[in-house]
Each structure stands twice: as structure tokens, then as C-alpha cells.
Structure 1
Amino acid sequence: MGARPRFAVMSLTEAAAERVREIVGDSERPLLGLRIGIKKGGCAGMEYTILPVEAPDAKDEKIEGHGATVFVDPSAVLFLLGTVMDFETTKLRSGFVFKNPNEVSACGCGESVMLKPADLAGASPAA
């Protein structure tokens, strides 16, 4: 019997990875990556958080993609399963965006979301 197959909680697009690498590279302090989480707030009920990581937390899920590293706060894992982190630039704004299958709704300004926990029965890797 081999090790149980693992799957990534979330993934990064090349654009998101490039921006993460820029943030890490431009930091005055040595950073390992960014920590992604969620907190209660905003008009839809929850907001994504993005914080610099100087020292890893053993409980975080480590996600690597396109030469960048992000860490997922353990309290956010069920809300982020299957999410794709992207970075977009438009005429009006630039920033990280999350394509999250667990999103139920979002506020009009796009700054907060309503999330449901992921359905773990459908997310299990095939045996």
C-alpha cells in the first residue's frame, strides 16, 4: 500500500504566481510566500485575507505553482477547496481574484463573498 494521494487545496495561475514572486522579491524582509485565509467581514459576510509569510506555520497547507508559494490558513481550507487564485489588471483596479467553487454569492463591489464549506464527498481523490 502506497501513500494516500494528496491534492492541492487551491491552485495559482501564472499571473497570480508572477505577482506573488514580485511581492516576495520586493519585500524589505525575507518572505517565503503569502498566506491566504478568510475572515468575517464585508457586506456579503466573508473576505479573503492575504498576508506575508516570514516563517511557516506547520498547520498551513503549502501550495506551490509556477515558482511561487502560498500557504493556506487551516481554518480556510474547507472554504477554499478547488479555488483558483488569479491576478487581474483592469482599467479601474488590479489585484488578486479568487475563482472559488464554494462561493454562494458576492457583494456588488466584489470585496466580500458568501462561502459554503466544500463538499468533501465530491472532493476525495479517486482510489
Structure 2
Amino acid sequence: MIEITNEAITKILEKQAKEGFSAIRLGITGGGCAGFEYVFDKCNDIPSKEDVRLDYGKFGVVINKISIPYLVGMTLDYQKEGLNEIFKFINPKEQSSCGCGVSINFDLEQVNKDKIFAVEL
């Protein structure tokens, strides 16, 4: 469903050891000049009935069901860019992104193909 690179797993586990969370929350939210922004947060809460929790071994990934069609097939990576280190969403469903690199827009035809998958979960 969502691939997480070894680099991202290593960094999540480092942060988890320091900060004590049990899962990360991934998703999308409306905002920015291109229409959407990714969500990446730490969480300990038990997911609500609107969430799905995926097990990645030593940590979980919580995703709101509405976000699933946008994230299916995505890769979460961790990259060093100059002096910055960031978690990077690599998503084939992205149609465009803002110059700021935070705001994105999606190819809705691709997103709609995975809505059936989200309903089945």
C-alpha cells in the first residue's frame, strides 16, 4: 500500500526512541496554493473508526480513510538535501506542486481508481 524506505524507517525508529510515540500519522489535508498538503505527525492514540492502522514492525502507520486513495502506491523516503534533512513523499499521483514544495495537487483520475480499495478496508 505505502512503501517506506530503509532510510525513512531508520529515522522513524531513531525519533521513536527519543520521543516515545508508537505510530506515525500520514494523510492529506486541504491547503496551500496547489490545493493539498501532506500530513506527517507522530501519534500514540488508538485510531478512530475513520482511521486505518498499518503495521510496519516496530511502529504503526495511521491513515484517515479519506486519505487512502491519495496515498496508495506512494513511497515515504528520508533524504538529506544540503543542510536539511526531510521526510519526502514520492507519489506518482501528484500532478503538480507549488514552488514552496509543500503544497501539491493530484491527478484525480488516478486517485479515483483507488477509491474502491479504500472502501474495502
Contact in 2 for aligned 1:11/1:63 (Cα 8 Å): no
Amino acid at match of 1:104: Q
Q: 1:103 aligns with which of 86, 94, 118?
A: 94
Query: As a proportion of its length, which structure holds more strand?
Result: 2
SS in 1 for 2:33: coil
Residue equivalent to 1:79: 70
User: Structure 1 residues 89, 64: closer, same or farther in 2, change over 3 A?
Assistant: farther
**Preserved contact between residue 47 and residue 53 of structure 2 (Cα < 8 Å):** no
Match of 1:5 in 2: none
Conservation of the 8 A alpha-carbon contact between 1:17 and 1:68: no
Q: TM-score, normalised by structure 1?
A: 0.77
State the shift of 1:58 in Å. Answer: 4.8
Which residue identity is paired with 2:95?
Answer: V
Supply the AA of the counterpart residue of 2:23: G
**Bigger Rg, which one:** 1
Is the counterpart of residue 48 in structure 1 residue 42 in structure 2?
no
Partner of 1:34: 24
Residue aligned with 2:8, SS: helix
Do residues 114 (structure 1) and 98 (structure 2) align?
A: no
Q: Which moved more, 1:59-68 or 1:82-91?
A: 59-68
TM-score (norm 2): 0.80
- Percent identical: 28
Report the CA distance between 1:64 and its aligned residue: 3.8
Q: How far apart, in 1, do the equivalents of 2:32 and 2:52 lie?
A: 25
Q: How much has 1:53 moved relative to structure 2? A: 1.2
Bigger mean CA offset, 80-89 vs 63-72? 63-72
Superposed displacement of residue 118, structure 1: 4.4
Superposed CA RMSD in Å reads: 2.2
One-letter amino acid of the counterpart of residue 57, structure 1: P
